[in-house]
Amino acid sequence: MRLKNKYVFFKIAVLSLLTLNCTLISCKKFVDIPGPKGSQDQKVTFETDGTATAAVLDIYAHQEVDAPNAVFCTGLAADELVSDDATYAEFQNNTITLESFYNGTYLWTSPYFEIRRCNLAIDGINKSATLSPAVKSQLSGETLFMRAYMYFNLVNLYGGVPLALSPVETANALLPRSTPEQVWAQIFADLQQAKSLLKPAYPSTDRARVNQYAVSALLARAYLYQKDWAKAESEATEVIGSNVYSLAAPANTFKTNSNETILQLYTQTGTSSITPYFFLPEPAVNPVFYLRDGFEQAFEKTALGADDARKTNWTAKNDNGINYVNKYKVPFGTGDEYTILMRLAEIYLIRAEARANQNKLTGTTGAEADLNVIRTRAGLTAKLNLDKAAMLKAIEQERKVELFAEYTHRWFDLKRTPGFTDLSKSRAEEVLPALKGDFWQATDVLFPIPGDQLSVNKNLTQNPGY
């Protein structure tokens, strides 16, 4: 009996050990599963032209979705837009809180999400040995452009921001804010590199991807903001002189096939994600965002007393008597409009401003020529022989009525241009206190760094006034 027991124990022990051993080895293999179907790791993604292109197009696709919020928030902060929706009141009153959802999620975080996609793509493209050279430089150029575009918005909204350039998320997480100069330097470096990598021709139809002229257009804008007038003028001239673009009739400016477009963002439906917020749902119902009372008076009349063609084509009035933005017209369903990021009219106005600041005022190479190209298209009479101050005023007015409710133009213009009466102050100080009353403070020209960001990154500092 005892012997039998021993034998059984021995057998069991051997069996158990064997089983355990085999099981442990097979366990390891068994749970070692591949990634989910339909997914791939970064290295593989940048191995072929097709997949690498798809990864870069992701940046544009996200931009299309993220884009509207910057339009609304800065439009409200400036003198363009108002909303009945109380959640946007803090922008309308320039009393943005540290907890602001839109400021935190869309204005601050979304661009950094895009920057991460750019950083990952730049890293992937650089490391890839298998991409064809043409695609490699095209994709690099596009990605650098998009990164510069994000930093351009960030530095203008917040001042100096952290320069996240690493593909490793954690390496960027605790960076302090760089100075505005450092951010601008990075913007110019990225754009100049992009310009050298890209070709004049668009890589695809619809002008929905970046070409060399798009880079020049953004460079012109950036030089203008940095008051490098000569370079702004020369970049603008490259775009205008390319003869690739021409102004479209106001009714067609925002159409997909408008020849004025320098860069637009594709959507499957041919409708811009901005439109639903501006359109009129019913004659007596207000759109989510509409034009601030009095904005419509900024439009001049034509020589014959008719309305500015932009007023008739790009704004409308509802039964409640409010004026609303009507640049894009198809909110739902299928349309022929993409979100336009940059168009030729702005480039004319950039060059006009750059020339005016260089005292090139009159003649065919003077500011007035570019200004009048825009005025003429709107049906307005040409302005001639203005002095520098008057010309700059005229350009600001023209930018206001030409570029209203388009991206961040108006808000940035108010901040960056000096006042008409007091050059030491910004235009914002002249325009906004009258509209915003006691809400307005000089420090409102910079949006606050979101409070939750300050708490997760102790190295960040807040802007003054918050």
Within residues 25-44, the interface with other proteins by CB under 8 A covers 26-28, 30-33, 35-42
Using CB under 8 A as the binding rule, whether residue 115 contacts other proteins is answered as yes
Q: Which of 47, 49, 61, 336 binds other proteins (CB under 8 A)?
A: 61
Distance of CA 105 to the CA centre of its chain: 14
Distance of CA 223 to the CA centre of its chain: 17
E-assigned strand segments in 299-378: 315-317, 323-325, 339-343
Using CB under 8 A as the binding rule, whether residue 53 contacts other proteins is answered as yes
Q: Give the burial string for 244-271 (b: 16+ CB within 10 Å, else e).
A: bbebbebeebbbbebebbbbbbbbeebb
Using CB under 8 A as the binding rule, whether residue 55 contacts other proteins is answered as yes
Q: Give the burial string for 351-363 (b: 16+ CB within 10 Å, else e).
A: bbbbbbbeebbee
Q: Which of 179, 257, 365, 455 binds other proteins (CB under 8 A)?
A: 455
Using CB under 8 A as the binding rule, whether residue 345 contacts other proteins is answered as no
Kindly state the smallest distance separating residue 307's Cβ from other proteins, in Å: 28
Kindly state the smallest distance separating residue 359's Cβ from other proteins, in Å: 41
Q: Which of 6, 10, 15, 425 binds other proteins (CB under 8 A)?
A: 15
State which residue, 19 or 246, has the beta carbon closest to other proteins.
Answer: 19
Q: Which of 332, 381, 382, 425 binds other proteins (CB under 8 A)?
A: 332
Mark 275-314 with x for binding to other proteins (rule: CB under 8 A) and - for no binding: -x----xx--x-----------------------------
State which residue, 246 or 269, has the beta carbon closest to other proteins.
Answer: 269
Task: Name the residue with tokens 């979304």.
Answer: 110
Kindly identify the residues of this chain, within the stretch 349-388, that bind other proteins according to CB under 8 A.
Answer: none
Distance of CA 88 to the CA centre of its chain: 19
Number of residues that bind other proteins (CB under 8 A): 80
State which residue, 257 or 381, has the beta carbon closest to other proteins.
Answer: 257
State which residue, 189 or 285, has the beta carbon closest to other proteins.
Answer: 285
Using CB under 8 A as the binding rule, whether residue 264 contacts other proteins is answered as no
Tell me which residue of 306, 294, 275, 293 sits closest to 378, measured CA to CA: 306
- How much is the CA Rg of the chain, to the nearest whole Å? 27
Q: Which of 67, 71, 120, 342 binds other proteins (CB under 8 A)?
A: 120
60, 265 contact by CB (below 8 A): yes
Q: Which of 205, 365, 376, 385 binds other proteins (CB under 8 A)?
A: 205
Using CB under 8 A as the binding rule, whether residue 3 contacts other proteins is answered as no
State which residue, 45 or 137, has the beta carbon closest to other proteins.
Answer: 45
* Backbone torsions φ then ψ of 116, nearest 5 degrees: -65, -45
Q: Which segments of 159-228 does DSSP mark as H helices, in order?
A: 169-173, 180-197, 212-225
The end-to-end CA distance of the chain, in Å, is 87
Kindly state the smallest distance separating residue 327's Cβ from other proteins, in Å: 19
How does strand 261-265 pair with strand 339-343? Answer: antiparallel
